[in-house]
Amino acid sequence: MSIAWGSLLVVFIVSFGAAVGVVVLVTCALVALSARARATTVPAGSAGGSGGGLSASAGTAVAGVCLAAAAAIVLFGLYIIVA
C-alpha cells in the first residue's frame, strides 16, 4: 500500500483554500453588517462618525452576497462528498 503524496497535497491545498475562503467571506459579511449598526447609532456627519463607510442598505446587500457565496462553497463541498 502506497500513499499518493501528490494527490494528498492537492486535497490539502484545495481544502485549505476553501476553508480560508469561507472564513474571509463570513468576515466580510460581518463587517458589511456592521455598517447597518453604525448607521443606526451614529448620525451621518457627526463628530463620532467616519463618514466613509457603506450605507445600511449597501452593507446589507454586500453581506447577503458574501453569505450566499460562502453557503455555495459549503454546499458544493457537501455535494462533492456525497456524489
The structural domains of the chain, with segments of one domain joined by +, span 22-42+53-83
User: What's the whole-model pTM score?
Assistant: 0.77
Dihedral sign computed on CA atoms, order 27, 38, 46, 51: positive
Q: What is the pLDDT of residues 8-59, one digit of tens each?
A: 999 999 999 999 999 999 999 999 999 887 767 766 566 555 556 778 889 9
Structure-derived torsion over alpha carbons of residues 11, 15, 16, 19, reported in degrees to the nearest 10: 180
CA dist., res. 58 & res. 64, Å (int): 10
CA dist., res. 20 & res. 15, Å (int): 9
Query: Element (H or E) spanning 44, and its range?
Result: none
